[in-house]
Amino acid sequence: MIVAAMSVVTAKLIDSPPLGSANDRSRWCTVWSLVERGTYQIDEIRKVPGWDTIDLVKHEGHFYSSKPPLLPYLVSEIYRAIRRLTGWTLTSHTEEITNIILFLINILPMGIALWALYGCIRRHCDNVFGQLFLLTAACWGTLLLPFLTVFNNHTIATTAFIFAIVLAVQIIADGRHHPWRHAACGLFAGWGVCNELPAALLGIALFLLLCWHSCWKRTAMWFVTFSLIPIGGFFITNYHATGGWKPFYMYYGTEKYEFVHEGIPSYWLDPKGVDKPRDTPLEYFTHCTIGHHGILSLTPIYLLTLWSWLLPATWRKRPLRLLFALSVALTLAVLAFYLSRTANYNYGGVSVALRWTLWLTPFWLLSMIPVLEQWGRSLWFRILVTVLLTPSIFSAWYPGNAPWTQPWIYQWMKSAKWIDYSDGRPQFDRKHFSWISELPDGDLQEDYWITFSAVGTDGEFEEIKLQDGGRANARERIITITRTDSDESVRQFVVDMEAFQGGEPVVEFLVRRNDGEPLTDEDREFFSGVSGPSQYFSSRVRFERSRLRRDAFKTHQGYSYVTIKGQNGRTVKQIRDVWYCEDVPFGILKWEDRVIDARTNAVLSRKFWHAADAGKIFATSSDGEE
């Protein structure tokens, strides 16, 4: 069963796209930088398309992963060996290298750990049905499984804790006091704590338990000494990466997380969706236990854990009762710790599970032993636990190829409109019927101009220049439009400023041509952007880079479209996407024209216009330059 489960996970790994989340990209960036550039700084690799991440900090002018550096450092040595053997790099053979490494650090160790866990289950669970149930649950029914296909700390820590627990049970319950068991238990416990810092409580508890049930000198000499090996590595690599002993992620809420770089604010200045704390402590506790990220709602097999904790027989079996007591204490401590962090009420982000509880999985599984022993021979009990196991397996395998999606209960509750963690669509301050957003005021501003350029599908270069033509009268303003393609044309239009600022349609604010010629449908279409009167609707706020300055511009993206029936009976949609921006003349940074098939949504043509030059920029960049 273990081989079958790990084989299916391996197949999922091969089928999963690499770098699927900012979470694992953050660690892969460090791995690449250590091998290719000999530094923990990820400034260079994050600029490569598909590699950028929000899980980073800015420290002394450079970017670093917010993740503790020990695990990426060790993985970088595996990558270095693969690179020397094959000549592959993480950028040239991303999928092949990530798959090999994840198999070596996630799947293979977990398979061995499950085998060790099953040995412990067989020794302390006398009921055969109970043994098979626990093995099935461990292989197929926990939310730890989806994370085996990605680069994360949770599977690493849980694997280490399984080995530490098995060794501790051998020492405490079976009286196997050979020093190597103390040493190995300490090594695995220390390594697990390095990957799940809140689990430091477990390391302390195991030390105290071994001191109580074994020779304290042996525990101090072997358990403590070997646990300090990974812990020492944790602090040494952290010092090399940060210049201090404090991990970067402990600076959450400070300027290392919340910064503006080249005009772009970090994600953590204004987190989105479920990452933005919205729930009260009671709501958060509810959703963490029986709600959309609920431990019990997603994996109801853990109801057996609760049942077992409340069962008097649990506390009569002396060899295991300390383990059960430790399970209860750790669970309560972890829940209390995360419930107290109200600024981090995000359920672990976009993830199929409460990631910070995954390392408790082996404790919860072993805690089921008493109830399985007492009731495991009952047919009705077997039917009940099978019913509990079925949705647990579904939750574990529902994500498909990666764990970076919301749980199925979350999506069901969202579709039923029981929960809503969306930020809502930003709104314009007034109606827009034109792709032009702003107009100058006052007297003639000779530096109020902006030029846009595009290359057509035929390769022909085109250019449009908008510039201020000054006042026509107290209410009207002249706009000069210069179009350059195969030749050059210059036209001046008079715009009613009050109607324009009031969000009136083009036919209301476009007064006349300044050369005395009558307005045409082509003129109105130019200002509208599409073939007919149509309002522009808000889409989202984006920070966009442009050749106009080094810093990015804050833009408010909008769109307008009209449906047109062609002469051949084909219906198409003409769409214009615009990036409104208050920092440039006329309030527009770029736009894109598309024509799509209304039935199939196939793109029939598209042209992208970007700001090539401007007379002035209104906002000041972060380094003080205009």
573-591 pLDDT per residue, tens: 999 999 999 999 999 999 9
Closest CA to 118 of 94, 134, 103, 96: 134
Name the residue among 110, 138, 173 with its Cα closest to residue 368. 138
- Residue 458 has a pLDDT of 66
**Per-residue pLDDT for 624 more than 50?**
no
Rounded Cα–Cα distance for residues 7 and 586 (Å): 59
The confidence score (pLDDT) of residue 333 equals 93
Per-residue confidence (pLDDT) for residue 415, from 0 to 100: 93
pLDDT over threshold 60, residue 625: no
Residues 411-430 have a mean pLDDT of: 92
Q: What is the pLDDT of residue 423?
A: 86
Cβ atoms < 10 Å from Cβ of 128: 11
Domain 449-614 listed as CATH 2.40.360: yes
Cα 590 from Cα 437, distance rounded (Å): 12
> Is the pLDDT score of 209 beyond 90?
no
Amino acid identity of 380?
W
Domain spans of the chain, in order of start: 2-415, 449-614
Is it the case that residue 114 has pLDDT exceeding 80? Answer: yes
Q: Is the pLDDT assigned to residue 459 strictly greater than 90?
A: no
**pLDDT score of 623:** 41
Rg (CA), the chain: 31
pLDDT surpasses 70 at 154: yes
How confident is the model over 224-259, as pLDDT tens digits? 999 999 999 999 999 999 988 899 988 988 999 999
Residue 494 has pLDDT above 90, yes or no: yes
**Confidence grade of residue 620 (pLDDT, cut at 50, 70, 90):** low
Order the strands of the 603-614 sheet from edge to edge.
510-513, 488-496, 476-484, 461-471, 449-455, 603-614, 588-597, 571-580, 549-565, 537-546
- The half-sphere exposure of 237 on its side-chain side, counting CA atoms within 13 A, is 23
Assess whether pLDDT exceeds 50 at residue 491: yes
Phi, psi of 597 (to 5 degrees): -70, 125
Half-sphere exposure of 436 (CA within 13 A, CB side): 31
* pLDDT above 90 (res 622): no
- The residue among 129 and 319 whose pLDDT is bigger is 129
Maximum mean pLDDT: which of 48-57, 217-226, 567-576: 48-57
| Alpha-carbon torsion (427, 429, 431, 433), positive or negative | negative
Mean pLDDT of 111-139: 95
Rounded-to-integer distance, Cα 87 and Cα 74, Å = 19
177-191 pLDDT, tens digit per residue, is: 788 999 999 999 999
What average pLDDT does the segment 444-456 reach? 91
Q: What is the pLDDT of residues 257-298, one digit of tens each?
A: 999 999 999 999 989 888 998 999 999 999 999 999 999 999
- pTM, entire model: 0.89
Residue partners of 127: CB distance under 8 A and separation at least 6: 372, 373, 376, 377
Q: Is the pLDDT of residue 57 over 70?
A: yes
pLDDT band at 399 (very low <50, low <70, confident <90, very high): confident
Compute the distance between CA of residue 254 and CA of residue 265 in angstroms, rounded to an integer: 13
Tell whether the model's pLDDT for residue 315 goes beyond 70. no
376 CB burial (10 A radius; 0-12, 13-18, 19+) = buried
User: How are beta strands 461-471 and 510-513 bridged, if at all?
Assistant: unpaired
CA distance 510 to 205: 77
pLDDT at 317: 61
**CA 576, chain centre distance (Å):** 30
- Residue 433's pLDDT is what? 95
Percent of the chain with pLDDT over 70: 96
DSSP per residue over 161-192, as a string? HHHHHHHHHHHHTT----HHHHHHHHHHHHHH
The tokens of 218 are what? 């042996």
Q: Which amino acid is at 453?
A: S
- pLDDT reported for residue 194: 95
pLDDT digits (tens, 9 = 90+) for 523-558: 999 999 998 888 999 999 999 999 999 999 999 999
How far is residue 368's CA from residue 206's CA, in Å, rounded to a whole number? 20
* 3 state SS of 586: helix
Mean pLDDT of the chain: 91
Question: How sure is the predictor about 314, in pLDDT bands with cuts at 50, 70 and 90?
Answer: low
- Band (318; pLDDT cuts 50, 70, 90): low
Q: What backbone phi and psi angles, to 5 degrees, belong to 57?
A: -130, 160
Is residue 41 over pLDDT 50?
A: yes
70-109 pLDDT tens trace: 999 999 999 999 999 999 999 999 999 999 999 999 999 9
pLDDT given for residue 621 in this prediction: 46
Cβ-based neighbours of 45, under 8 Å, separated by 6 or more: 29, 32, 33, 36, 51, 91
Query: What average pLDDT does the segment 451-476 reach?
Result: 88
